[in-house]
Structure 1
Amino acid sequence: MNSKRVAAMKAAMKKHHATSLVLSDPSSIFYLTGHWFSPGERFLALLIPLNKEPLLFLNELFPCPKSPGVTVKSFPDTVNGVALLAEEIDGPCIAVDKEWPAKFLLDLMDRKKEAQFILATPIADAVRRIKDAKEQDQMRVASHLNDQAMCALWGHIDGTQSEEEVTSFLHQTYKKLGTEGPSFTAIVAYGANGSDPHHETDESHVTSGDSIILDIGCKKDSYCSDMTRTVFYREVSPEARKVYEIVQEANRQGILAARVGNRFSDVDRAAREVIERAGYGPYFTHRTGHGIGIDVHEPGDVSQVNDQIIEEGMIFSVEPGIYLPGKFGVRIEDLVLITKDGNEVLNQVPKELTILCADPDPKEEGHS
C-alpha cells in the first residue's frame, strides 16, 4: 500500500465525517495498492477504516500478488463477500464508491441499516485529482511517448492509407515504443469526418485539402496520455486556415488560464470566448477538457458548469475545437500540469499549421 496516499484518503474521510471507505473501482485500488485486480461481475472491495488498517476483499478465483501490501480477505464463490465486508465495517458513516454495483450496495445497506451511506466521490476523486511527484513523472513519460507516436504518424501518412490503416500503424508504433497500448480508441478523421468530434474511424481515404484530426493516447506504467493535432493533406483552404488559427488561439488562451486559483470554468471561458468572438461559437460543441491520470477521463471537467478551484498538481486537457458540418473539423489538445506559478504543457508536438505531403513551395508553411 502507498502509505501517503492512504493517509490522504483518511484525511479526506475525516473532512467528510466518514468512518469507513469502500472502494471497488480497479483504478482507485491500483492507485493505493500498485496492483490491478479485475473481478468481472464478482465482488471486489478495498475497505479503508478510519482507525484501522485497510483490508482487500478478493474472490479466490482471481490471482493475488505474493506481496500485495495489504491484508487480503479471500473467499470462494460459495461465500457472500458483502457479508464478510459488513463484519469488518465499524462506525456510523460509510462512504461508497460511485461505481459500485447496486446488487452489492443494497446488500450492504440491508446489513448496515443503522449506518449512514454517503458517496465516496468527494473523498477518492479529490485525492486522486492531485498528482504526486511520481505520478507527474509518469505522465511526462507517457506524454513523451505519445509525442513520438504523433510524429511517426505525420511521417507515415502519404495519402494512400485509410483511417483504419493509419490507426493500425499507430498501434504498431505504440508497441515499438514499449507502451501498454492505446489509452482509448484513437480518432483518425479525414475531411468531413472531422466535423463529428467523436467520429468512429473507418475506411475513408484522404483527399487533397482535407483536414486530418489525430486524437491519440497511450498508456505507460498504467498512466494515460492524450493529445490531438489537426494537420492538412497537400493544401489548406483559406477557410480552413482561418478556423485553424482561431482554434490555435483558443488552445493558447485556455492554457494561459490554467493556473492555481482560477476555476475550471475560467479555462473553458478563456478558450470558448476566442471561438465565440470569431463567430464560430455554435460549432464548439463540447467541454474544453477533462482530468486524466490512471484513467483517460478522470474528474475535473473543464466546462462552463464546473466552478471548482484549480490546484497545484492537477493534470487535465485543454482541447477546444470547431466542427463545420459536412466540411471539416479542427481540434488542438494538450495536457497541462498545474504548477505553483503556472503550468507545464506535457505535449511538445508543434502546433503551427502543418501540411503533410505539400508540393514544394518556399512560401508554404508546414512539413512535406
Structure 2
Amino acid sequence: MSLTLYIVLRLYVINASLLIQKVSNCSHIHFERLPDIRRTYEQRNSSRNCRTSIKSERMEEQPQVAPYGGLLTKTLEDEKIQEKKLEEQAIEVTYNDKSEIVRPEALHVRGVDSLSTEDIKAYIDYYVNFNVIEKTIEDGEQFEGTKFVYEPLPIDEQTYFRIQWINDTSVNITFKSMEKAHAALLAIVLEESLDVDEFESSSESDRLRKAIEERPTKSYKPIIEFKKHMDLKNRLNIGDSNGESNAPEEDKGMDEDDTAIELFVRQSFQSDRKVKNASAYSRYYLLHGEPERKPYHPRNRRHDNRHSRGRRGDNEEEDLFAFKMNKSSNANDDDDDLFADKLKEKKQIGRSRSRSRSRSPMRIER
C-alpha cells in the first residue's frame, strides 16, 4: 500500500514539474519562489502580454487608417523630428555685414510689387509643380503657331508651399523642409547665376550659405499665358481635355507692367517678417486704394484682406457669413431668430403687450 502511494505521489510531482517547465518556457518567467496562487495569476498575465505584444508588432508593420480615408503616412512623432531638424539647420550666418539666423524651410522673393498672391502662386506652380511641353500646331488646324501643354506632376510628387507677405516688395515662401525649399530654389533661379551640380554636391551648411546669396529668377513672362490657361473660364471655353492652351497668338496680350517684372530669390532669415500695421506703409494701397472692409469682425480676429490683390492679413480665414451676422448686431433678439420676419408680424399684432429680454424666444445656436 505504501509503495503504491509513493508511486502515485512521485508521478504527481513529475507531472507538476513538467507543467511548470512548459509554462515558464512560454512566459520566460521563473516560478520557483512564487506561491501557487500568484503563480497562476502571473501565468495568465504573461500569456496576455505575449499575445498583446505580438498583436502590437503586427499593427506597427501596417500604416494606420486615416479618419477621412487613405493611410496615415506621417505621425506626430515625425512632425517633432522634422521640427527638431529645422532647429538644427537654422544656423547663424553673416549677410551684408550683419548676423542673421536662416529659416531653412523658406525662400525670400523680392520684386513682387505689382503681383498678387495668386500671381506668385502661379509662378511657383509653373516652375515647380508643372511640366510645360511646347508643341507646334500643324497646318489645317484652327490656330497656327505654337501651343503649350501644362501637365501637373502627380499629387504625391507636387510641392506644397505657403506665401507669407512681408511688405509690398517681398514675400516668404515656406515649404515643409529645407530639401523642398532648395529644390524649389533650383527650379526658379536663373541657371547662369547658380551652378546646380556644385550646389547639390555641397554639404548641408554649405548649401545654406550659398542659398543666402540673392540671385535673379527665371522670367515671369510665361506665367501670363499659364494663368489664362489655369483660369476656370479659359479651361472650359479654350483649353482642351489634354491640358493644352489653344488661344490664338493675337489674344496672348501681356500687361505692360508684367513684362518688366524682375524677381530675386534667396534663403529667408528669421528677421524677414511683416512689421506691425504694414498696411499703413503700403504703396500698393496708396496707388490702388484699400478694398471695402466688412463692418463685422469675428471676436479675436482682425483681418487685412486685400480683395483686389488677393493678399491675406494676419489671420488665415474670414467668417464666410460675417456680413449676414452683422445685419442683426443692433437689432432685437428676435431678429437673430431663423424666423425673425414671422416674429415681427406677431409683434405688430401684440404690440400692447410689454416684452422684456427674458421673454425673448430661444436663440438658435449656429
TM superposition score normalised by structure 1: 0.20
Give me the TM-score of the superposition, normalised by structure 2: 0.20
Looking at secondary structure, tell me which structure has more strand per residue: 1
Highest relative contact order (Cα 8 Å, sep 6+), 1 or 2? 2
Which has the larger Rg? 2
